[in-house]
Amino acid sequence: MIRRRLPRAARAFAVTASIVCALTAATGAWAYHTHFVVNNCNTNPPQYTSYFTRDGSSTVALYAQREGYQWAGGCWNDNDVDDSPGDPTSDPGTGGEGPDCSGFTFKVWRESLAESDAGAYQWNKLRNVHGPYTSARFKSGDGAPNVTYGKGGLIRMDALASSSHIGLIYAPNADGTDQIIEAKGEAYGTNIWTRTYRGDSGYGGVRRLGWNA
């Protein structure tokens, strides 16, 4: 009896393990769960800073260049590679590398999780934080540090926000377009692109208050 029962259990084990692997792989779930956030990111408290500048925030933004995009994300390294490529856009919980557009703005603008606090806080790139604002809320100027601002007067590190996207002005171009640094989407990652958001009536101007320079 014992000789017959053990092979049955082993067969069940082998068949089930194979089915689990096959089903999971077939759904693609294993392919995009790269565990980037689990393996790399932290929840350290931010560091309050009394001095913050557009120069400094531009530099902070540049460290996110080419580091991918993650819906609702806010953690990245600086190896110039999207370490979790191909996350399905329908799944917000893939734990991949990169910020989304509003999380990127929140971190680069060095904002507080407390919406009533206009102070500046340094979030390291590996701190996984998104912040309380969506692009639509930024567009409305929600939160103590943020105000809506006339688009014609926007300068570098001001933002252009729509109901579904926000990007930071990196530099104006001679032809009237702007170079925008933004977390654009899973297929785009985070980088600098030329855009015409400024003239687009779907976008409004947003300024972070309190720059020292």
Q: By CB under 8 A, what part of segment 11-70 binds other proteins?
A: 11-21, 24-25, 30, 33-36, 39-40, 49, 51-60, 62-63, 66
209 lies in the site for other proteins, by CB under 8 A = no
Q: Which is nearer to other proteins, 83 or 115 (CB)?
A: 83
Phi/psi for 114 (5° steps) reads -85, 115
Smallest gap from Cβ 45 to other proteins, in A, equals 15
Whether 40 and 77 have beta carbons less than 8 Å apart is answered as yes
For residues 39, 58, 135, 93, the Cα torsion angle rounded to the nearest 10 degrees is: -10
Q: Give Cβ neighbours of residue 116 (< 8 Å, ≥ 6 apart).
A: 144
Q: Which is nearer to other proteins, 49 or 114 (CB)?
A: 49
DSSP for residue 98: E
Smallest gap from Cβ 116 to other proteins, in A, equals 22
From first CA to last CA, the distance across the chain in angstroms is 82
Q: Give Cβ neighbours of residue 86 (< 8 Å, ≥ 6 apart).
A: 31, 32, 186
Of the candidate spans 111-119, 138-146, 203-211, the one that interacts with other proteins by CB under 8 A turns out to be: 203-211
Smallest gap from Cβ 33 to other proteins, in A, equals 5
Q: Give Cβ neighbours of residue 69 (< 8 Å, ≥ 6 apart).
A: 82, 98, 99, 100, 183, 184, 185, 186, 188, 189, 190
Q: Which of 28, 164, 209, 210 binds other proteins (CB under 8 A)?
A: 164
Q: Which is nearer to other proteins, 21 or 209 (CB)?
A: 21
Query: Which 134-153 residues touch other proteins, going by CB under 8 A?
Result: 134-135, 150-152
Q: Computed over its alpha carbons, how large is the radius of gyration of the chain?
A: 22
Q: Which is nearer to other proteins, 106 or 211 (CB)?
A: 211
Query: Which 64-123 residues touch other proteins, going by CB under 8 A?
Result: 66, 71, 77-85, 89-90, 92, 100-102, 110, 120, 122
Smallest gap from Cβ 140 to other proteins, in A, equals 13
